[in-house]
Amino acid sequence: MRRCVCPGSYDPVTNGHVDVIERASRLYDEVVAAILVNPSKNARFSPEARDEMLREATAHLPNVTVDSFSGLLVEYCRAREVDVVVKGLRPGGDFDYELQMAQMNQHLAGVETLFMATDPAYSFISSTLVKEVATYGGDVAALVPKAVLRRLQPGDGTTATGGGAPSSSA
Ligand code: PNS
């Protein structure tokens, strides 16, 4: 059974994330999309909301499960018995930091990172930019899954931060 983890903050999941997860799901028997729940990071969406959005956005992929973790990614990989991380790589600023993390994870636990070239159609999308554009009323409909679009509407009650990690499930 070949398994990989696609980790991220997913705050919120974007169409770029979904594209990478979809393509990973064609290469691996099982893909775990793992949400980092970091209480010290000021996330826009609660862990529960991020989990729900990611689940809905990947519901069409039968070999993808959604989970959450806190602490070191390599410890999570060890617990789930996965030794490959797949991450999307956009042009520009991603590379240096991603390489550093990949090397650290390899050093710490022998966990390998495979970088997937982002589809050019999505290379300008980031969760941060999506949130900023949506905050000022810009149209992000083509950039995020429907589950996210609904929650980016002003007045949506599910955007508060806080709460613990949702439980793991398929
Ligand atoms: O979506 P992001 O924010 O780019 O994802 C980054 C993430 C979650 C993959 C990375 O920050 C991570 O793995 N964090 C877990 C803590 C950890 O293992 N830190 C050491 C990395 S070498």
**Residue to mutate, 5, 6, 9, 85, ligand 1, most ligand atoms under 8 Å from C-beta:** 9
Q: What confidence category does residue 163 fall into, taking pLDDT thresholds of 50, 70 and 90?
A: very low
**13, pLDDT greater than 90:** yes
37-43 long-range Cβ contacts below 8 angstroms, 24+ apart: 37/68, 37/69, 37/70, 37/164, 37/165, 38/9, 38/70, 39/70, 41/9, 42/161, 43/9, 43/11, 43/161
Q: Rounded CA gap, 3 and 58, in Å?
A: 16
Average pLDDT value over all residues in the chain: 91
Judge if the beta carbon of residue 54 lies within 6 A of ligand 1.
no
**32, pLDDT greater than 50:** yes
Encode pLDDT of 61-118 as tens digits: 999 999 999 999 999 999 999 999 999 999 988 899 999 999 999 999 999 999 999 9
**40, pLDDT greater than 70:** yes
**Residue to mutate, 32, 36, 74, 103, ligand 1, most ligand atoms under 8 Å from C-beta:** 36
Judge if the beta carbon of residue 7 lies within 6 A of ligand 1.
yes
Residue 41 confidence (pLDDT): 79
Judge if the beta carbon of residue 102 lies within 6 A of ligand 1.
no
Encode pLDDT of 121-142 as tens digits: 999 999 999 999 999 999 999 9
